[in-house]
Amino acid sequence: MKINNQNIDKIDYMSASDQGLIVSFAAFSDADAIVLSRRLGELLGANPPHGLRDVIPGMNNLLIHYDSLVTSQQILTNDVQAVMLKLDTDASYEYRHWRLPVCYGGEYGEDLPEVASRSGLTEDEVITRHTRNTLTVAIMGFLPGLAYMKGVDDALYLPRRSSPRQHVPALSLGIAMDQTVIYPLASPGGWNLIGRVPVRPFDSQRDDPVLFRAGDRVSFYAIDDDEYRRLDAAALAGEAVITPELIKGDA
């Protein structure tokens, strides 16, 4: 995906108070919107326009905070448009692809039978559909290390549970709408739990405590209980049970 004179009109600019500007990529695909938000934030951070204070990426947009005493929304919009056009000649970027093991169903994914029933699928078909798509980390969420990953198969599109649980075990994998999350810590939660991963999305003992970041790609593969317990023990011992593949792509 490239931004050029033909598609720059698809980008919307909206006011967010007297010191905020939202740059919306809602007209683009989810994957493109996530990458464009990330790339624009990086470029603005590297060479901030006069008056820029902060950039905050969203699901399909970028929120820009600015000092209204030294610039205006119109001037900043013009500055952003000029930066966006640079993506036409700077479209190459790198992203990380994580391939995560998941033990589906049973004690690890108690909602799998219900998800299968509501989707009109067998449990094996739910697993197949969940593992066949590559998801994109859109934003980081309400717990440290919690990533909202978009791109779940359409057949698995379900709302959150009507009655959230008071306790969801750490490392539980849940789905809702077109998204997947992995609970980094035990917490309340209302997502449909279909499995568990032996990977810590957040570990305060690591040099970089948070495993994922916006723009990462994530895919899943099924493992059995014995493999889960082996990998979980290795992770508890401080071993890196997975490492990402670095891939070059186009925005």
Given this model, what pLDDT does residue 192 score? 98
51 and 76 Cβ atoms separated by less than 8 Å: yes
Proportion of the chain above pLDDT 70, given as a percent = 95
Given this model, what pLDDT does residue 90 score? 47
- Give tens-digit pLDDT for 8-28: 889 999 999 899 999 999 998
- The per-residue b/e assignment along 213-251, b for 16 or more CB within 10 angstroms, e otherwise, is ebbbbbbbebbeeeebeebbeebeeeeebeeeeeeeeeb
Confidence of residue 38 (pLDDT cuts 50, 70, 90): confident
Given a cut of 50, whether residue 251 has pLDDT beyond it is no
Given this model, what pLDDT does residue 91 score? 53
Ordered structural domains, the chain, with CATH: 8-90 (3.30.1360.40), 94-250 (2.40.100.10)
Given this model, what pLDDT does residue 249 score? 65
Give how far Cα 51 sits from Cα of 48, 61, 93, 208, 236, Å: 8, 20, 27, 31, 46
